Amino acid sequence: MAKNSKISYGEAMAEVEAILRKFNDSQLDVDTLAAEVKRATELIALCREKLLRAEKEVARTLDDPGQQE
């Protein structure tokens, strides 16, 4: 997932949404379906990781408002 490390949350979500649109519009053929599902799964995991990291940072900041990194 190294290529995902530089992608932003917004970019990842936009790509997932594009994959979902293709799926819903029946634009995915059988040959690419597995690859697109795998990519969407990777992107969703990345988004979850970014959300958890942000949640921890916010909680840490709220616990100690004077803390600066």
Taking only the tens place, the pLDDT of each residue in 1-59 is 445 568 999 999 999 999 999 888 887 788 888 899 999 999 999 999 999 999 999 99
**Mind giving me the DSSP string for the chain?**
-GGGTTS-HHHHHHHHHHHHHHHHTT---HHHHHHHHHHHHHHHHHHHHHHHHHHHHHHHHHH-TT---
Whole-model pTM: value is: 0.75
pLDDT at site 5: 62
64 pLDDT band, cuts 50/70/90, is confident
pLDDT at site 67: 61
pLDDT at site 2: 44
